[in-house]
Structure 1
Amino acid sequence: MAEKFLWGSATAAYQCEGAWDADGKGPSIWDQFCHSEKNTTGITGNVSCDFYHHVEEDLRMMAEGGQNTFRFSISWSRILPKNDHVVNPAGLAFYDRVLDACEKYGIVPNVTLIHYDLPDYIGDQGGWCYPGVADEFAYYCSVVFKHFGDRIPLYVTINEPNHNAYCDYCVGNYPPNETNLQHYCQCAYNMAVCTAKAIREFRKLNLKAQIGVVQGCGPATALQDTPEYRDAVKYCNYFCNDWILDPAIKGAYDPELIAAVKAKGIDLSFVKEEDLEIMKHNTIDFLGQNIYSRMLVKPNTSGITAFTVNNAGNNDGSASAARETRAIAGWFESDRDPNTKLNHWGREIFPQCAYNTLMERKRRYGDIPIYVTENGHGCYDVADENGYVEDDERIEFLRNYLHYILKAKQDGVNLKGYYVWSTMDLYSWINGYKKRYGLVRVDYDDPQRKRTPKKSYFWYKQFIAEHQDL
């Protein structure tokens, strides 16, 4: 694996590939959802930015922008389209083409095995709550590991288990669109087993590559330091962080977390001793950490359990519209710092959270290698007549966060790489195409999906050039 610091950007299969049914691909739960009446927007990822047909162009543009690594995900449904364990050669061939382009342009691939888009046949059996999901996932992963091997130096099992489970089973805005804490906990457990069983398959091959997991939020924090606020922080970390990172890194759950979940009335009969044994012996090599905003909490005085997120449908872009809320009765609820700026989606812009997150990971988990696998700023980009976007707001965001990220590296965090979310504009789940994150603009009105580098693309190129000595 390359020892040089990795500077790149990131995408995900359903969000960028398009070609949703091309070359033998089967449907994912997102194809199912987007093609159903549950999708009230009518917006889909059927074509998106059509990365499937723009691989060469997009990788060339990354290299021209000074980037030396590309984070992308593989669509399980492209590899195993049906519930019969029959491999689709065309699916493997597509990702071989992506890897060919990476090699051509000197770009290190960092590949996620599942980024929200479960196959429909897994969804039909209960999705992440399906008792057999971990064995099915392990089989899929074994196909990928055996085919690609060390062509991929960095593998990730699951992207953002916390946010995936949260949107699926707390907010209910992602398929299967449920609000059920029992299913949230079952999903969370199954994801941990999925990671452990995938790693077990990975270790069998004695590859030089490494394998990790990507966490989607930082540690909880509070504006006050009292016993009640410290408890709120502890419970929020149970809910958002510890159930993923402790088994993935330490190989076991915190017994206090298990006791707290049981005290909430959650039935943990799905927990199996043999699974816990597999977790104990199959831990990750590195941590991917996505960084956007801090998780600010206070004691739950409302007695209410409630969850909301910012979506295009409930946000007017005024920076005072609906904001993200997490609340579990008796545990914690979201807090708000009136002195902190919000972005146009009601999310805090708090660059210091990047430093705090990375330093806390080091404090709790030691010298584990860490990649900042996503960091970016969603905007209502406005292009000129040539398709060029002067996204100074995004540049300011990235500059300020990178200041704290590199400070954490300087202060001892074993930081190995950094990825802007996202490589190009793409489908932002139920936010559709309004919310743009890309360093490169995609013209969705153009049948050829014309690409135009934004001002931030050129800024990032210069930033990378100035930090080659890391």
Structure 2
Amino acid sequence: TKFLTRPGDIFTLTPLVKYFLSKTPSPYEKALSVQSRAEQAQAMHHLLLANARAVRNYREGKFHGKIGIALNLSPCIDPVTPDSSAANTCSLVHNGWILDALYRGVYPASIESNYRKYAPSFKPSKSEMQSIMQGRPDFIGVNYYSPTLVKNDDSQPFGVGNVANSDKFPSYNGPVSPAHMLQLLQWLDKNYDHPEMIITENGAGFGASDERMGTGVVLDPLRAKYLVGHADIVEKARAEKINLSGYLFWSFLDNFEWLFGYQNRFGLVSVNFDDPSLKRTPKSSYFAYKDYISSYKKRNGCK
């Protein structure tokens, strides 16, 4: 069974697994249901209230620095009908729910009314929403990996169906599209009052074919290409005067991934998990990033 982890994503299932799931609904499918999302929304509301309190405490403590919040954000794209209801709804559920609360002091009305059908007691007060907005962080951490491909599908939660990744070399975490990261940053800049942003996660893994051992280096050309393509977008966004103050690649080392354990790798440096000393070997993406950083001045005409 192959798991995908973006909004609207579904299982890729064998016929046998499909048969058993037809008898017993899968926990994953249940988690994406409107009813489950309504329960999650209540938990998220309290998380945002706690976040606001932490921000206020930080500022009252007069600490020298900035405090932010990191969010998993992704543009919702309908490849066939760009302005479809599925694309708009997906964006409200996945991106707008938290951002509207932080920057506008409200939740998207259409999504909130949908949640109320399953969680009638969920009635955020005006004072709570005001508190969330007043506790807005200094910057938004943007965790971006890929766009979310969707289509209208009334059989799916919110009417949002998943569109399969058609990339020739698919990554674990969705279609490779640096251009959509720029689109996301432009959308955030336009709709949420030009916030300061930091790319707090951006990365990819392509499987064993992109993790081949060379002479003293692990060869991962697909990850290297992904990294350089998205780093280029960072420079384009800054050239457009988008307030983007940092970029962090996920990740420096191969590590434990939430859904994948140690099986799927995302690091710039390979870790041998079968070696008691956890031997580390740099990858070609590591050297590609090193070269990209060292050539910054030359590319941008800096003195």
Are the equivalent residues in 1 in contact too, given 2:103–2:133 (CA < 8 A)?
Answer: no
Structure 1 pair 408–300 and aligned structure 2 pair: CA distance change class (3 A): same
Corresponding residue of 2:88: 234
In structure 1, how many angstroms separate the alpha carbons of the residues matched to 2:292 and 2:85? 40
Question: What is the Cα deviation at residue 347 of structure 1?
Answer: 2.3
- Letter in structure 2 aligned against 1:373: T
In structure 2, how many angstroms separate the alpha carbons of the residues matched to 1:334 and 1:413? 30
Are the equivalent residues in 2 in contact too, given 1:440–1:454 (CA < 8 A)?
Answer: yes
Corresponding residue of 2:22: none
Are the equivalent residues in 1 in contact too, given 2:203–2:251 (CA < 8 A)?
Answer: yes
Corresponding residue of 2:79: 223
Q: Structure 1 residue aligned with 2:129, among 264, 276, 279?
A: 276
Q: SS at 1:209's partner residue?
A: coil
More deviation in 281-290 or 183-192? Answer: 183-192
In structure 1, how many angstroms separate the alpha carbons of the residues matched to 2:161 and 2:129? 30
Deviation sequence 1:90-144 (CA, Å, 0-9, x none) = xxxxxxxxxxxxxxxxxxxxxxxxxxxxxxxxxxxxxxxxxxxxxxxxxxxxxxx
In structure 1, how many angstroms separate the alpha carbons of the residues matched to 2:295 and 2:284? 17
Deviation sequence 1:273-316 (CA, Å, 0-9, x none) = 44223213211111111111102222223x23xxxxxxxxxxxx
In structure 2, how many angstroms separate the alpha carbons of the residues matched to 1:368 and 1:342? 34
- Letter in structure 2 aligned against 1:419: L
In structure 2, how many angstroms separate the alpha carbons of the residues matched to 1:435 and 1:393? 14
With normalisation by structure 1, the TM-score equals 0.52
Q: Indicate whether 1:388 and 2:242 are aligned.
A: no
Q: Indicate whether 1:454 and 2:283 are aligned.
A: yes
Pairwise CA RMSD of aligned residues? 2.8
Q: SS at 1:376's partner residue?
A: coil
Question: What is the Cα deviation at residue 358 of structure 1?
Answer: 0.9
Corresponding residue of 2:265: 436
**Percent of pairs identical after alignment?**
27
- Letter in structure 2 aligned against 1:359: Q
Structure 1 pair 199–237 and aligned structure 2 pair: CA distance change class (3 A): same
Q: SS at 2:174's partner residue?
A: coil
Deviation sequence 1:415-445 (CA, Å, 0-9, x none) = 1111110011100123111111111111112
Q: Indicate whether 1:397 and 2:251 are aligned.
A: no
In structure 2, how many angstroms separate the alpha carbons of the residues matched to 1:279 and 1:299? 32
In structure 2, how many angstroms separate the alpha carbons of the residues matched to 1:464 and 1:453? 16
Corresponding residue of 1:38: none
Structure 1 pair 351–221 and aligned structure 2 pair: CA distance change class (3 A): same
- Letter in structure 2 aligned against 1:379: F
Q: Indicate whether 1:374 and 2:227 are aligned.
A: no
Question: What is the Cα deviation at residue 233 of structure 1?
Answer: 2.0
Are the equivalent residues in 2 in contact too, given 1:249–1:284 (CA < 8 A)?
Answer: no
In structure 2, how many angstroms separate the alpha carbons of the residues matched to 1:213 and 1:172? 28
Q: SS at 1:210's partner residue?
A: coil
Q: SS at 1:421's partner residue?
A: coil
Q: Indicate whether 1:288 and 2:115 are aligned.
A: no
Corresponding residue of 2:243: 414
Are the equivalent residues in 2 in contact too, given 1:341–1:350 (CA < 8 A)?
Answer: no
Corresponding residue of 1:59: none
In structure 2, how many angstroms separate the alpha carbons of the residues matched to 1:182 and 1:413? 33
Structure 1 pair 172–372 and aligned structure 2 pair: CA distance change class (3 A): farther
Question: What is the Cα deviation at residue 395 of structure 1?
Answer: 0.6
Q: How does 1:29-428 map to 2 (within 5 A)?
A: 172=27, 180-225=36-81, 229-262=83-116, 264-269=117-122, 271-301=124-154, 303-304=155-156, 328-329=157-158, 331-336=159-164, 338=166, 340-345=167-172, 347-381=174-208, 382-384=211-213, 388-428=217-257
With normalisation by structure 2, the TM-score equals 0.79
Regions of 4+ moved over 6 Å: none
Deviation sequence 1:402-427 (CA, Å, 0-9, x none) = 22332222122111111110011100
Are the equivalent residues in 1 in contact too, given 2:74–2:147 (CA < 8 A)?
Answer: yes
Residue ranges of structure 1 left out of the alignment (5+ in a row): 1-161, 164-170, 305-327
Question: What is the Cα deviation at residue 467 of structure 1?
Answer: 1.5
Question: What is the Cα deviation at residue 191 of structure 1?
Answer: 2.2
In structure 2, how many angstroms separate the alpha carbons of the residues matched to 1:191 and 1:342? 37
Question: What is the Cα deviation at residue 250 of structure 1?
Answer: 3.4
In structure 2, how many angstroms separate the alpha carbons of the residues matched to 1:172 and 1:245? 27
Are the equivalent residues in 1 in contact too, given 2:173–2:204 (CA < 8 A)?
Answer: no
Residue ranges of structure 2 left out of the alignment (5+ in a row): 1-5, 8-25
